[in-house]
């Protein structure tokens, strides 16, 4: 069974829709990344969305993460309504990946508790529920199918999209709203800083000079369905997917890249394609020493002498954590529909200790793009890979 993707609804610091994001990527525009000071007094580069660009949400709990989520969802609202008309509200699932649990409101609530000995009257523990990013969608669009939230760190939304596809293929539903949303809150920034994982400058993935992550806000959502519903776009299919869990360490990947390699191989096998059929890989590419190294080893092990074109887009978007898989699938969607590849934005200094990769050059990215692979490799070795194609008619 083919799983069709609608156009994505996107909102990030690099663009408030898919078109703006794509333009920023092609131009290497890093203006969405700025330096911020957290409540601890520390300062970090982050791709945060300007809150003045966000409207109050229609959710029961109005917070930044829900405002961003709703801004992205509105871009595919008409397609969700079309799916409801065709299949019925009970046949549409919701699958969302996210790592935030209402930190914006929970931190404010706990501050009041420690100051006054009581939470504010409007505070509810439900604000901290991991499920609310999914529950909000079901409530907003009156969807009655399965509602699932996934929190596997950086692979959360990739896992959510995989589960949505499996629900459709199993007959549990006919369509699904799937994607991810996350924010680079003060808690998140200070937490990653405690791991010594944040770069002192804008992230520089795969460079010998790389020194860590740049975090960011972001959201991306698709309507997945068993038949194409978005007549405004070419027919793009989720061709395959693969997951693995190497469980090497709570925060560090297996340095050999074996877990990432297994996920890539499973995705290619599930898609029924050979490595040489892949036109582009959107690398996970966080900019940390260990993650970039193991991913380079995994890609080299699978693709060998076939030097597939690749790049990481996090130097423009920031690392959007649980939303990264969906946001980067939206980027692959744009690559297929526009027949152009997003360039690698970095200093160009290769790390000779890693296998060399064939990065997309900003000045020479003309390419035929039919099949894209998107990598998401998370804390705890939770790995997920997605394959999409713009040539689904000729494939079974």
Indicate which residues carry an active-site annotation.
154, 284, 319
At 236, is the secondary structure helix, strand, or coil?
strand
Cβ-count burial of 196 within 10 angstroms (0-12 exposed, 13-18 middle, 19+ buried)? exposed
| Residue 115 parent element (H or E) | helix 103-116
Q: What count of other Cβ atoms lies within 10 Å of the Cβ of residue 193?
A: 17
At 218, is the secondary structure helix, strand, or coil?
strand
Q: How far apart are CA 138 and CA 147, in angstroms?
A: 7
Instruction: Name the β-bridge partners of 244.
Output: 383
Query: Token pair for residue 329?
Result: 């699938």
User: Cα dist. 149→65, 88, 127, 192, 297 in Å?
Assistant: 15, 22, 15, 22, 31
On whether the CB atoms of residues 167 and 392 are closer than 8 A, the answer is no
At 73, is the secondary structure helix, strand, or coil?
helix
On whether the CB atoms of residues 32 and 53 are closer than 8 A, the answer is no
Q: How far apart are CA 136 and CA 143, in angstroms?
A: 10
Q: Judging by DSSP bridges, how do beta strands 280-282 and 34-37 pair with one another?
A: unpaired
């Amino acid at each position: 069974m083919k799983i069709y993707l609608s156009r994505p609804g996107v909102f990030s610091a690099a663009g408030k829709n898919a078109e703006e994001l794509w333009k920023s990527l092609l131009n290497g525009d890093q203006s969405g990344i700025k330096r911020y000071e957290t409540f601890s007094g520390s300062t970090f580069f982050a791709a945060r969305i300007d809150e003045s660009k966000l409207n109050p949400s229609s959710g029961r709990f109005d917070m930044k993460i829900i405002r961003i989520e709703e801004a992205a969802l509105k871009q595919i609202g008409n397609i969700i309504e079309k799916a409801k008309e065709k299949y019925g509200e009970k046949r549409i699932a919701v699958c969302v990946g996210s790592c935030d649990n209402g930190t914006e409101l929970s931190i404010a609530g706990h501050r009041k508790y420690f100051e006054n000995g009581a939470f504010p009257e409007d505070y509810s523990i439900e604000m901290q529920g991991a499920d609310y990013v999914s529950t909000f969608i079901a409530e907003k669009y009156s969807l009655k199918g399965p509602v699932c939230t996934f929190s596997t760190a950086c692979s959360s939304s990739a896992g959510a999209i995989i589960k949505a596809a499996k629900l459709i293929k199993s007959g549990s539903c006919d369509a699904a709203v799937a994607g991810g949303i996350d924010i680079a809150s003060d808690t998140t920034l200070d937490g990653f800083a405690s791991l010594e994982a944040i770069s002192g400058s804008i992230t520089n993935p795969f460079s010998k000079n790389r020194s860590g992550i740049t975090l960011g806000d972001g959201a991306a959502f698709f309507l997945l369905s068993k038949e194409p519903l978005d007549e405004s776009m070419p027919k793009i299919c989720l061709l395959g997917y693969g997951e693995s869990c190497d469980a090497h360490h709570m925060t560090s990947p297996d340095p050999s890249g074996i877990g990432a390699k297994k996920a890539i191989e499973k995705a290619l096998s599930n898609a029924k394609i050979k490595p040489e059929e892949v036109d582009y890989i959107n690398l996970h590419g966080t900019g940390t020493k260990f993650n970039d190294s193991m991913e380079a080893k995994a890609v080299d092990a699978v693709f060998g002498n076939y030097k597939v074109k690749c790049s990481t887009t996090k130097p423009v978007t920031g690392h959007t954590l649980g939303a990264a898989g969906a946001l980067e699938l939206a980027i692959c969607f744009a690559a297929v529909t526009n027949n152009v590849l997003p360039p690698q934005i970095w200093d160009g200094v290769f790390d000779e200790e890693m296998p060399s990769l064939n990065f997309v050059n900003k000045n020479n990215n003309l390419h035929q793009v039919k099949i894209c692979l998107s990598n998401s490799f998370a804390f705890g070795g939770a790995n997920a890979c997605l394959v999409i194609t713009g040539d689904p008619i000729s494939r079974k």
